[in-house]
Amino acid sequence: MSTPGHTQGPASGDAAAAAPRAGYAIIEAIRRGEPVTGQTHEQVRDQPAVIRAADFSLWYGKSRALHAVSMPVPRHRVTALIGPSGCGKSTLIRCVNRMNDLVEGVRVSGRMELEGSDVYAPGTDVIGLRRRVGMVFQKPNPFPMSIFDNVVYPLRIHGQRSRSELAERAERALRGAALWDEVKDRLRQSALGLSGGQQQRLCIARAIAADPEVLLMDEPCSALDPVSTLRVEELIQRVSERYTVLIVTHNMQQASRVSHFTAFMYLGRLVEYGPTAEIFQNPRLPETEQYVSGRFG
Amino acid sequence: MATQRLSIRRVISAGAIAGSAAASVAIVAVLAGVLWYILWRGVGAISWEFFTTDPTGDPTGDPAAPGGMRHAVLGTLALLLMASAVGVPMGILTGVYLSEYAGERWLAGPTRFVCDVLAGVPSIVVGILGYELLVVPVGGFNAYAGAAALAFIMAPIIARTTEEMLRLVPDSYRAGSLALGASKSQTIVRVVLPAAAGPTLTGVMLALARVAGETAPLLFTAGGARLISADLGQPFPSLTQQVFDYATSPFPSQREVAWAGVLVLIALLLTINLAVRLLLWRTRARAKPR
């Protein structure tokens, strides 16, 4: 599973072509195939970290998707990953709960730590890991069963049988996902009858029903209309009081609205990582500035 | 010039439409004719006694009173039940393996190929095989051999339809379940199979309909009997075998009953097919809201 160190090939062309002209040290370095160390602001490093990627690299077969990413994720905060398509944001969060295991030919090197232990260490209990790390997908994916059965799914698979306990946890999760009032009278109806936004909040409820420590969100609003997006964003803020949230987004306004910290990724590298306000208003690197102002990417 | 070519094309097009319409009408007409004829010949011999009595008289048949086909109707239902008990789980499990576990593993290709070949094997071959393996060694026709032969025909059909239906289940369900900490088997049992339950059941019913009408494999395995016995080690009756037996009988009264048997068989197949349609229609209606 884990193999070589830094075999830096020249950056593959597609995304690089979209980059701005000369004068950008990091992009130049990436183009020359040199290792790049991301600028991580002190404010991030001072935070207690739940997840910590250390020199983490990933290959899909022969193509390298992540290049020695080192990145802590602060506890009980919302951290956003931004960057152009194909920069490795989704790949990175899918390593935290090892969903990338489902992809053929994936290799990783370096460490991906959850509370100090490497999730890729041999003998890791992947099922246990995924109980601790919830995930919300790009497209709402409620199962074709009732709303209630969806929410209590993670509890049932972990052996919870008590009806009263299930009912109580379902209500708590649905309240937590700000969905309870809308669905309390039709818990037994199919979840597929809900609107897209409701389905996504149901998926969030399902993800938090098992009380995970971390919630991963892979562009959770990209399939939603603006009103639903707003509701999910409010929800993200709310759940961050109890959970650590790591969210991938293509929408920079969204990142600035919901997150405390923002990491800018480019071509599989972490470029700049700091408090959201700093990244958007006062970034240290010209590349970040260019990207957040919408001039490339 | 161009307009002339266009008009030629119009003529060809009209001809093609007329031809295909005529072919369709011809097929429907033939089918309707067959059904009508069976109804006409069979309905006369359908009576209360047909369903409540076994053949009467000695084994050569009493031409005056051939009796009913209770034994054959029950026999067919019992054979279908026994065949399903083996063939359905086997087929579904194989389908699950092919769709969920095999992936590109080396066993997948051959299994799929064998299933396709088996699904197309002439049923007389299955009959002879059953005779050699399950009848000759025990010294006589028996119900187990008949059920096994039918199961052997059912399993590959069910395996392939189950596989196809499971493949239609979106991967987002699997990913969603795994991401919640479910194991692969939990994901299959709790999410993937239920999501494909309707269409999978449809495949099972179609396999049932297929074997319900089989005669050749039963002739050599269950044999046939003039009464139904709880002893499954004995020759066992079935509708198709009894129809075969009576239809070639020299006695007109037995041939009459054979027509009634054909009618009941057709009604059984029609019922299964209608049930399939109902099932499909209901699953589609349920899948719609979004």
Give pLDDT tens digits for B157-187: 999 999 999 999 999 999 999 999 999 999 9
The whole-number average pLDDT for the span A185-201 is 92
pLDDT of residue B248: 87
In this structure, is residue B225 part of a structural domain? yes
Among the ranges given (A159-163, B83-87, B173-177, B286-290), the one the predictor scored with the smallest mean pLDDT: B286-290
pLDDT of residue A297: 58
Does the pLDDT value for residue B228 go beyond 90? no
> Are A134 and B191 in contact (CB < 8 Å)?
no
Q: Rounded to 5, what percent of chain B is helix, strand, coil?
A: 75, 0, 25
- Show residues of chain B in contact with A102, CB under 8 Å: 175, 178
ipTM reported for the complex, 2 dp: 0.85
The whole-number average pLDDT for the span A111-140 is 93
In this structure, is residue B245 part of a structural domain? yes
Cβ–Cβ under 8 Å, residues B287 and A191: no
**CA-CA-CA-CA torsion sign (A43, A274, A223, A60):** negative
From CA A157, how far away is CA A257, in angstroms rounded? 35
Does the pLDDT value for residue A22 go beyond 90? no
Asked whether residue B141 falls in the same domain as residue B16, the answer is no
Asked whether residue B94 falls in the same domain as residue B210, the answer is yes
Asked whether residue B203 falls in the same domain as residue B254, the answer is yes
Asked whether residue B9 falls in the same domain as residue B99, the answer is no
> Are B194 and A207 in contact (CB < 8 Å)?
no
One DSSP character per residue, A121-172 reads: STT--HHHHHHHEEEE-SS----SSBHHHHHHHHHHHTT---HHHHHHHHHH
pLDDT of residue B288: 47
- Residue B229: give its domain's CATH number: 1.10.3720.10
Considering only the C-alpha atoms of chain A, give the largest distance between any 2 of them, rounded to a whole number of Å.
Answer: 64
Does the pLDDT value for residue A16 go beyond 70? no
Cβ–Cβ under 8 Å, residues B143 and B80: no
Domain housing B25? 2-45
pLDDT of residue A8: 39
Tens digits of per-residue pLDDT, B188-216?
A: 999 999 999 888 888 898 899 889 989 89
Query: How many domains is chain B built from?
Result: 2
In this structure, is residue B58 part of a structural domain? no
Asked whether residue B224 falls in the same domain as residue B278, the answer is yes
Of A80 and A17, the one with more pLDDT: A80
Does the pLDDT value for residue B277 go beyond 90? no
In this structure, is residue B64 part of a structural domain? no
pLDDT of residue A145: 92
Asked whether residue B12 falls in the same domain as residue B76, the answer is no
The whole-number average pLDDT for the span B2-22 is 87
Beta bridge partners of A274: A262
pLDDT of residue B15: 94
Does the pLDDT value for residue A21 go beyond 70? no
Does the pLDDT value for residue A14 go beyond 50? no
Asked whether residue B138 falls in the same domain as residue B173, the answer is yes
pLDDT of residue A5: 39
The whole-number average pLDDT for the span B96-107 is 85
Pairing of strands A261-266, A78-82: parallel
In this structure, is residue B188 part of a structural domain? yes
Asked whether residue B162 falls in the same domain as residue B115, the answer is yes
Closest chain A C-alpha to B72 CA, distance in angstroms: 42
Asked whether residue B112 falls in the same domain as residue B179, the answer is yes
Tens digits of per-residue pLDDT, A55-112?
A: 999 999 999 999 999 999 999 999 999 999 888 999 999 999 999 988 888 999 999 9
In this structure, is residue B169 part of a structural domain? yes
> Are A130 and B194 in contact (CB < 8 Å)?
no
Interface of A with B (CB under 8 A): 97, 99, 102, 127-131, 134-135, 137, 139, 141-145, 153-154, 156-158, 190, 192-193, 203, 206-207, 210
Closest chain A C-alpha to B9 CA, distance in angstroms: 47
In this structure, is residue B77 part of a structural domain? yes
- Show residues of chain A in contact with B195, CB under 8 Å: 143-144
- Give the residue from A286, A296, A254 showing the smallest Cα distance to A81: A254
Asked whether residue B173 falls in the same domain as residue B246, the answer is yes
pLDDT of residue A12: 42
Asked whether residue B127 falls in the same domain as residue B247, the answer is yes
Asked whether residue B194 falls in the same domain as residue B281, the answer is yes
In this structure, is residue B181 part of a structural domain? yes
The whole-number average pLDDT for the span B139-166 is 93
